[in-house]
Amino acid sequence: MVTKYMFFTDRLFIREWKESDSRLLYEYGSDCKVGPPAGWFVHSSQKQSLNIIKYVLKTEGQFAITKVNSPNEIIGSISIFPVTYDIEDNKEEVMEIGYWLGRPFWGNGYIPEAVNEILRYLFEDLDKKAVYLRHYSENLKSKRVREKCGFTYLFTMENDYQPLIKEYKDHVVNRITKDEWIKHKKR
């Protein structure tokens, strides 16, 4: 099926979500090491995962990450959305990015690869001026993604309430501008 948004890298196919992804979404979403560090609750059933696909993930800016050689088997997710917190940039000219990856695929560089492709899309195709990335202060894997992709630390939102997991967390806010991205990709 041809979809509105499809992105390819050497190893990844990033596409819109399908209801048939619910089995693997449940498999990864039921892992307490995956959902809560990304800001969402642990999934309790495949039916719940299906409903999340139908009502959350099948909306604009939500993408499934798959491997090029296995396009029907999700390994994670990446999303783009408007910035909702106070920043100095014009909110019309920026976006925020979020992601998660199933634990079996950790440590292979898939998220930096996906982030770099989405940055290309946001800067080259949508002409955004900057992209933001937030992660919890204790999420060292996301800190590493930030470093690999050229984001700069801006500030920390302390005791930021996370309603889906019902906890207060420190959110590290990072940004990369279009000019910084151009310089970083030349390395």
- Residue 100 resides in a domain: yes
Q: What is the pLDDT of residue 2?
A: 32
Q: What is the pLDDT of residue 146?
A: 95
The amino acid present at 52, given as its one-letter code, is I
Q: What is the pLDDT of residue 4?
A: 67
- Residue 133 resides in a domain: yes
∠ CA 89-90-92, rounded to 5°: 135
Low-confidence ranges of the chain (pLDDT < 50): 1-3
Range of the domain at 84: 6-185
Q: What is the pLDDT of residue 3?
A: 47
| Displacement of CA 34 from its chain's centroid (Å) | 12
The CATH number assigned to the domain holding 177 equals: 3.40.630.30
146, burial (CB in 10 Å: exposed 0-12, middle 13-18, buried 19+): buried
The pLDDT tens digits for 125-176 are 999 999 999 999 999 999 999 999 999 999 999 998 888 788 898 999 999 9
Q: What is the pLDDT of residue 86?
A: 82
Tell me how many domains the chain contains.
1
Report d(CA 162, CA 117) in Å as an integer.
Answer: 28
- Residue 1 resides in a domain: no
Helical ranges in the chain per DSSP H: 22-29, 35-38, 46-52, 110-120, 140-149, 178-185
